Amino acid sequence: RKKKGKGKEVDDNENLDDKKSFKNQLATLDIFAGCGGLSEGLERSGVSQTKWAIEYEEPAGEAFNLNHPEASLFVNNCNVILSAIMSACGDEDDCISTPEASDQAKKLDESEINKLPRPGQVDFINGGPPCQGFSGMNRFNKSAWSKVQCEMILAFLSFADYLRPKYFLLENVRNFVSFNKGQTFRLAIASLLEMGYQVRFGILDAGAFGVSQSRKRAFIWAASPEETLPDWPEPMHVFAGSELKISLGSGTQYAAVRSTATGA
């Protein structure tokens, strides 16, 4: 729909749909894709093009298809998809998976198998593994189902180990860093380092980058040795706090803000 305003017609979504475009966009695999929010943000940055996505829940997968119809979506368990990829590449003997995952992988039809990403095709893997097992709001995070969801981190890392993308991004709740005395977090860092990746981690507040609420998230960036490891973006906004705040007579306030680049 067009709206008229001061002699100029403006599309409602003119700014939203104006995605930046770079010459060499990264061919991206989005795991635990949900409705495609992370893919949307990365595509709007201009550096990423989501070509493949994996989502377990059918309703979320349907929404993803609406948002990213150009991507090849696999509505399945990510362990099944990884098993299928390795089998299609002749590496079935190197795949350590449950019998159930192997059986389900063999049931994929030929059209799905032909769409699977192969090593050398994926430039960027991103995703936010299920966070219920790490969330501080979950009072039952010791349950069997929560433990299964925590183990999705291992499956996520396995995709990086086999496909070896140029870049890797993991997003999760703040408690991911401290859950299980930090063992899961340290395992993720150590695994990526052992694969030969450069690694950077941090906790960023979505509100500092334009979201109208305080929502802290943990991120792990990884880049292959021949690539440049991206810096965190500098915050654009700050939440009012009592520490190191200077108030002027005009009502203006200045507050110290931690830099994501220097940590100061």
- CA nearest neighbour of 218 among 186, 192, 258, 255: 186
Q: Which residues contact 27 (CB under 8 A, 6 or more apart)?
A: 49, 51, 121, 122, 123, 124
Question: pTM to 2 decimals?
Answer: 0.80
- The pLDDT value recorded for residue 258 is 65
- The pLDDT value recorded for residue 135 is 46
Distance CA 202, CA 222 (A): 12
Place of tokens 């495609």: 36
Domains of the chain: 26-232 (3.40.50.150)
Which residues belong to the active site?
Answer: 131
List the chain residues with pLDDT less than 50: 1-12, 14-17, 134-141, 145-146, 264
Q: Is 197 exposed, middle or buried (0-12, 13-18, 19+ CB in 10 A)?
A: buried
Distance CA 209, CA 15 (A): 17
